[in-house]
Amino acid sequence: MMSDTAIQRLTILGSTGSIGASTLDVVARHPRRFSVVALTANSDVDALFQQCRRHTPAFAVMVDAGAARALEQRIAQAGLKTRVLCGMEALEKVACLPEVDTVMAAIVGIAGLRPTLAAAAGGKKVLLANKESLVTAGRLFMDTVRASGATLLPIDSEHNAVFQSLPRGFDGDLASSGVRRILLTASGGPFRTLPLDQFANITPQQACAHPNWVMGRKISVDSATMMNKGLEVIEAHWLFGAPAECIEVVVHPESIVHSMVEYVDGSVIAQMGNPDMRTPIAHALAYPERIANGVNFLDLAAAGTLRFEQPDVGRFPCLALAFTALRDGNGAATVLNAANEVAVERFLDEDLSYADIPRLIETVLGAVHAPPARTLDDVMGLDHEAREQAWRWVARSGHNRAAGTIAAASGSK
């Protein structure tokens, strides 16, 4: 790994998504600290080309073959020296290049699992924004981190806040650190107060209009259903060795307190700040130092009242489903994630109603036998089986107006 004074050399998996773009914004503010070795995207040629022009990476990877050919042509016409690669194997390659120190894992969904796992196996400093890596393959992923000596730092604002609120050098044992519970905050999304009888008419545009955060479409829908928080509960279990009974979700509409840690003496330590993903990104990039990130400083007087509420599981059944999957253990979380990805995809394509999202997930959880997933093949096989069940449910419900394939979706966050 690099020395304290060396420039960090980065691969950014999912560079054209919101997390990737925010990472590049922070990196550009500190040219003497960071350099970009590789950028990757699914199919957004224009965005990746512009990033290549500005950051001049050695490698650019596109998952889509046609997009890779188009990017390669534009790279050549511009006289850039960036080498264009294509496909999943290329993603894994740039995630574990010997010259790369740090990997920002920001590909959305299970599509990000393989390259993120490759980065962990390569002993990299892994900045984890792809929560599905831990949700679907938590034990395998954490075992890989320990075996390789990789450094794992959370990028989700909630987990980064927990990390900052735990004792320095936390070793994964909550009890010995005097921790009683972890409190993950949730904004409640755009439908926190919407009458329940209007849920059946919610549109993708409404679900993607988050009141506080700027995020990709899939994550925005997950935030609206609070499945995003449910996945974060499972992620917190693996990151911090926390059983389900030591994790609590609190609705906090202002999104100023990003999460908290409660200690056995009654002390509660919180991490606060304006809702901007550049804060946790910069924290992880520079850890254990602190660097400027372009985020406005928090004005508590202007923020005014900070509210906290218990989540309504009747309004957010996806949150309860995630807790159930965590308690069930084995491969239940893999099934949960796969069913949710299909449900959100179908909702965004207007082939499924918003109210049907938790119904599909609950049905698939009950239909798929989920033994422990000890290998990557186990995880992917269980994911595939759950997706098949989800597509069958969509078909039986008469929502499959658009043709689809039963496969893990690839994309940038």
Q: Indicate if 87 and 56 belong to the same structural domain.
A: yes
Distance in angstroms (rounded) separating the CA atoms of residues 214 and 219: 10
Q: Indicate if 12 and 151 belong to the same structural domain.
A: yes
Report the domain count for the chain.
Answer: 3
At 402 the pLDDT is 40
Query: Where in the sequence is the domain holding 180, given as residue range(s)?
Result: 162-275
Q: Indicate if 30 and 149 belong to the same structural domain.
A: yes
Q: Does 281 reside within a domain?
A: no
Neighbours of 385 (CB within 10 A): 20
Distance in angstroms (rounded) separating the CA atoms of residues 407 and 411: 13
Q: Indicate if 236 and 195 belong to the same structural domain.
A: yes
Q: Indicate if 29 and 126 belong to the same structural domain.
A: yes
Q: Does 119 reside within a domain?
A: yes
As a whole number, mean pLDDT of residues 52-77 equals 97
Least confident among 101-105, 161-165, 212-216, 354-358: 212-216
Q: What is the pLDDT of residues 269-314, one digit of tens each?
A: 999 999 999 999 999 999 999 999 999 999 999 999 999 999 999 9
Q: Does 293 reside within a domain?
A: no
Q: Does 90 reside within a domain?
A: yes
Q: Does 285 reside within a domain?
A: no
Q: Indicate if 187 and 83 belong to the same structural domain.
A: no
At 39 the pLDDT is 98
Q: Indicate if 183 and 147 belong to the same structural domain.
A: no
Q: Give the predicted TM-score (pTM) of the model.
A: 0.92
At 215 the pLDDT is 80
| Better-predicted residue by pLDDT, 373 or 90 | 90
Neighbours of 378 (CB within 10 A): 16
At 296 the pLDDT is 97
Q: Does 223 reside within a domain?
A: yes
Task: Report the CATH number at residue 373.
Answer: 1.10.1740.10
Asked if residue 38 has pLDDT above 50, the reply is: yes
At 51 the pLDDT is 98
Three-state secondary structure along 297-348?
CCCHHHHCCCCCECCCCCCCHHHHHHHHHHHHCCCHHHHHHHHHHHHHHHHH
Asked if residue 229 has pLDDT above 90, the reply is: yes
Percent of the chain with pLDDT over 70: 95
Asked if residue 118 has pLDDT above 80, the reply is: yes
Least confident among 208-217, 227-236, 400-409: 400-409
Average pLDDT, the chain: 93
Q: Indicate if 265 and 338 belong to the same structural domain.
A: no
Q: Indicate if 22 and 149 belong to the same structural domain.
A: yes
At 5 the pLDDT is 55
User: Which residues lie across from 186 on neighbouring strands?
Assistant: 251
Asked if residue 322 has pLDDT above 50, the reply is: yes
| Better-predicted residue by pLDDT, 40 or 210 | 40
List the alpha helices (DSSP H) in 157-294: 157-165, 204-207, 217-225, 227-240, 278-286
Least confident among 223-237, 310-324, 391-405: 391-405
Q: Indicate if 114 and 227 belong to the same structural domain.
A: no
> What's at 104, amino acid-wise?
M
Q: Does 200 reside within a domain?
A: yes
Q: Indicate if 196 and 141 belong to the same structural domain.
A: no
Q: Is the peptide bond prior to 195 cis by the omega test (within 30 degrees of 0)?
A: no
As a whole number, mean pLDDT of residues 27-36 equals 97
Q: Are 11 and 104 in contact (CB under 8 A)?
A: yes
Q: Does 407 reside within a domain?
A: no
Q: Are 17 and 413 in contact (CB under 8 A)?
A: yes
